[in-house]
Structure formats: C-alpha cells, structure tokens
Structure 1
C-alpha cells in the first residue's frame, strides 16, 4: 500500500512511484570486495577526524558506484549540520542541471554535537546513494521515498555490513536455562518489538515482504494473541491438577479470521506489552514446585510451567528474527 503522500502526486509521478516501489533489492556483484572500504570507514569515524571520514566515505562511494557500473557522485562530509532548519537529518542528495550530483553528510548530531554512530552514518550514506541510484541505475525520472526505496537501502546495508549473526538458542537450549534467564527473555521482548517498529508508518507495517510471509503488524498481533493463550494455560495449571491444555489452532487461520492486516500495530503492541506484564507478574515468585506443575497438551503431551516458559522464550526469539526481516522487507 503506498504511503499517504501518493494521493497528492500527479498521474505521471504516481507511475514513477509505483515503478520504484516494485524494485525491492539491489544486488552487488561481489559484496565482499567492498568490505575493506566499510572497515576503513568504521575506523575513520572512530577517530572523529573529518578529513579521514571524508576520504573513507569517498572510497566507499567510489567502490560502490564502480561495482554497480554507474557514474560517480561527489561527496562532502561536514563536521556538523550546516543549517538549523534542516532538523536532525544527517545527509542530503542534490542534483542540479549542468552540475555533478552531490551528497552532503554531516558527522555530528545537531543538538548534542556527538559523532554519529557508524550504523547511522552508513544508513544515511546508503539512503542518499539510493537517490543517486534511482536516477543513474534504475533510470527513474524522480526519486521518491517508497517502501521499495527503503528495502533497496536495507539490501545494500546488509550486503555491506555482512555481520555474522549468532543463531538464536534452540528450544532444547532454553529448556536447559534457568527460570530467571527465561523470564529475562520474556521481559525484554516488548521493548525489542517497539524498537524494531520504530516510527514506521502504519501502512508500511501492513505490507508483507512476500505473499507467504507475514507483515510486521501480523507478527505483533500474533505475539499479542499467543500471549493470551499462554497466560490462560499457566492460570489453568496453577488452579487445577493436571488440566487439559487446549490447542491454539493454526496461526495463519488466526491472522486471516482476526484480520491482522487491518489492525493497528502500535495498539497491538500496547496490548501485548500489558499481557506480557501480567504473565510475568504471575510467574515471578513461583516456588520450584509450582514450576513443575503441568497439564496435558493434545499434541505435545505433558507440559509443565517450566517447559511452557522455555517454549515462549524460544517463540519470542523466532518472531523477533521474523520481525527484523519483515521491517527490512525481507521474507
């Protein structure tokens, strides 16, 4: 679904917008060849020396445009934001008739005058380079902030960063961890979800990265609803001896029947945070014998509270990884 300003564009501009939105990735031929330039930029930013950051930025942009076979773009690194009216932006791309396209970046925050974090700087650089690529590589007649634009930016970011991500603990690993470690996992999840959603527009959060992959809002709604089922199981186990524990049903059916795509992600997060807080309140202070109380699940057999909390910690890990991919436009 297009962003809200789409309706204010002319038909010709809307056609450009749609074309931009359809392109979700820019693949580098050999990303590893650019990693030395990325490391050099990391080192330069750590020195807080503008001249070194300028040289490292020029090198990375040159390597990037060469790799994609597009004309170069000039870059100017400023120590700080040049005009107060530009707010907290950290970069600007300009292209004027008869002049070479230029990217301006400033390496310090406007209010606190601190050097911008490396990831923020690289994101900003790739954002401005993305405008250049819209013209020089994709041959668009204008450059709009579309969902596709942000996905292309993210695709370049992850290819250049190429950080090996530590795999999340397996469910077996969570079974071996202490109750306190599992509760800490559950307590951290709402804040991590909020951080991933950030201030993204609701329409963007309702867009699936692929037809068979959930949109961010669907993931948050699922976390909210599964928390209700989790709390009901724990309450039943504490209130009765070996109760029957109901199945939750297929997650896709919930998403369809409860119309997750039409819900508000921010409101779903509010309810998830509240329900998770209630769950933690019920779990904290349980005795060791309470942790071993259980009930009979039709598919999994006997499940103790100890096992349920381990499963929920593992479940959180899985959906946080899924949400990370979804907000970046990756299935």
Structure 2
C-alpha cells in the first residue's frame, strides 16, 4: 500500500513511485564471498558534498571491538545503503525521480541483512545486542563512580555535552524507545516524530540534575525495556514503524540502534570526563 503522500504526487510521479516500490529485493552477486568477522566490524562515515559540483565522500575503516570505541558501523552502513537505494532508482531503474516507498525501505533492509548477518546468526546478533543493553547501566556507573559533580557538569566546549548531560540523555531516550515499542505493538506501522535531544537538555535543565539519580532512573527504565524484549514472541520482532529519518524500522532494528546508541554515548561520556569533545 502506498504511503500517504502518494495521493499528492502527479500522475507521472505516481508512475515512478510504483515502479520503484515494485523492487523490494536486491540479491548480492556473490554473497558467499562475504566474511562476517566476530570482532572486526566495518565502520563508515557518509559526508554530503561540501562544495557545489563535488561528489559525496564515503569513508570506511576497520577497528576491533577491543580498541578505542568508535560509532558502530550499522548506522553508517544503513545510511550508505539508503543512498544506494536512490542510486538504484536513478541508475539501475533509470527513473526521473526517487521516492521513499515501502519497496525502497524493503530493499534497503534486504541489502543490510545480507551484509551484516548470515542465515544462522540473526538471533545470536540480537542476543549480543541485548547483552550490551544489560551491561550499559553498570558501565556508566563505573565511569562516573567517585567523580565530583563539578567534573560531571563540565562541558568540554560550548557545543558538546558534559558527562552529566550524557547520563540524562540516555535516561530520557530510554523512555522514548519504550514508547516506540509500545506504539509498534498497539498500532500497525506507526509514524515516529523525531526527538530533539538538545531541546530536552535545555528544557529539562540537565545540568541541574543529579547524575547518580538520573542513572538509577535509566537503570529502571532499561530493565523495563529488557523485560519487554525478553517476553516478545519471535514472530513479533519484525513489527515496525516509520522513523522520521531512517524509514521503516522493526523492533529488531531498534534493538541494534539502542546497542549502538549505548556504545556511542558511553564513548562520549568518557571523552567528556577527560575534557575532550
């Protein structure tokens, strides 16, 4: 079924939409050649053109999980594959435009799951991500243990958060993630409004919060999230909704996002404690 904005398109645009929407899978030519290293992950960064006429820049690099943390590769890989979807519309299908259709998001997910999993490891991957989620509260507690409030409240610069603000952020986003899980279970394909982390930090006066109390609230909310996920029947993991910027995301996708989010902000907190942005 076309998305709601389909009715606002011209007939020519609707024809293009339907052509793109009909392509929901993109099999890899030689999937057997891919190697899924347990500790070595591909990390990538997608940068739009800085000057008119320049192409976008994609930077890829490898690091093991035992070295200094960097942003998990899945987010950037999804971003890259999202752009590949537009490339398919313009180049492979030779369409005059490219729309975000259900088929568009399905082929993005199809490529993604071929690249990051094989036929027998999808649930193992989820288990690893949930293990990451279970460790997060303890990891944050260890990082801020014994640190005075003046250090927890110190921002490394004008733009980047203090360690205390990072703790408050994960507390509030955990509530947001749980609300999305509940919406997914209550409705078919709900649409999610984007969150505004910087506005939360200002409106909720993060710097006036107690970091230890914020972390305990996060721990309680995380336990609730894990209880929900552990009780979820296998056939419900593919239920999903439409994210404002990432497109369709299943519960499985959100778990991967949360695991990445935890790692990313733990790294940010540790940098903030050192006075590094």
Distance verdict in 2 for CA 1:265–1:294, change over 3 Å: same
Alignment of 1:21-32 (within 5 A): none
Cα distance, 1:167 vs structure 2: 4.0
Residue 248 of structure 2 aligns to a residue in which SS? Answer: strand
Q: Is the 8 A contact 2:70 2:264 kept in 1?
A: no
Cα distance, 1:170 vs structure 2: 1.2
Aligned to 1:62: none
CA RMSD of aligned residues (A): 2.0
Cα distance, 1:164 vs structure 2: 5.4
Which of 302, 322, 331 aligns to 2:248? It is 302
Q: Is the 8 A contact 2:189 2:241 kept in 1?
A: yes
Aligned to 2:156: 209
Cα distance in structure 2, aligned partners of 1:312 and 1:218: 18
Alignment of 1:262-273 (within 5 A): 262-273=208-219
Cα distance in structure 2, aligned partners of 1:213 and 1:263: 17
Aligned to 1:227: 174
Alignment of 1:123-142 (within 5 A): none
Which of 49, 73, 77 aligns to 1:170? It is 73
Residue 189 of structure 2 aligns to a residue in which SS? Answer: coil
Aligned to 1:275: 221
Larger radius of gyration: 1
Cα distance, 1:316 vs structure 2: 0.8
Aligned to 2:138: 191
Residue 201 of structure 2 aligns to a residue in which SS? Answer: helix
Distance verdict in 2 for CA 1:277–1:289, change over 3 Å: same
4+ runs of 1 displaced by more than 4 Å?
172-175
Normalising by structure 2, we get a TM-score of 0.57
Cα distance in structure 2, aligned partners of 1:198 and 1:266: 9
Of stretches 306-315 and 284-293 in structure 1, the one that deviates more from structure 2 is 284-293
- In structure 1, stretches of 5+ residues that fail to align are 1-162
Aligned to 2:232: 286
- In structure 2, stretches of 5+ residues that fail to align are 1-65, 79-112, 117-121
Residue 289 of structure 1 aligns to a residue in which SS? Answer: helix
Cα distance in structure 1, aligned partners of 2:127 and 2:245: 27
Distance verdict in 2 for CA 1:288–1:326, change over 3 Å: same
Residue 72 of structure 2 aligns to a residue in which SS? Answer: coil
1:71-129 deviation digits (Å, cap 9, x = unpaired): xxxxxxxxxxxxxxxxxxxxxxxxxxxxxxxxxxxxxxxxxxxxxxxxxxxxxxxxxxx
Which of 253, 260, 264 aligns to 1:314? It is 260
Cα distance, 1:299 vs structure 2: 2.2
Q: Answer yes or no: is 1:218 the counterpart of 2:121.
A: no
Alignment of 1:60-79 (within 5 A): none
Aligned to 2:129: 182
Aligned to 2:97: none
Cα distance in structure 1, aligned partners of 2:71 and 2:193: 27
1:19-44 deviation digits (Å, cap 9, x = unpaired): xxxxxxxxxxxxxxxxxxxxxxxxxx
Normalising by structure 1, we get a TM-score of 0.48
1:126-176 deviation digits (Å, cap 9, x = unpaired): xxxxxxxxxxxxxxxxxxxxxxxxxxxxxxxxxxxxx95254531258973
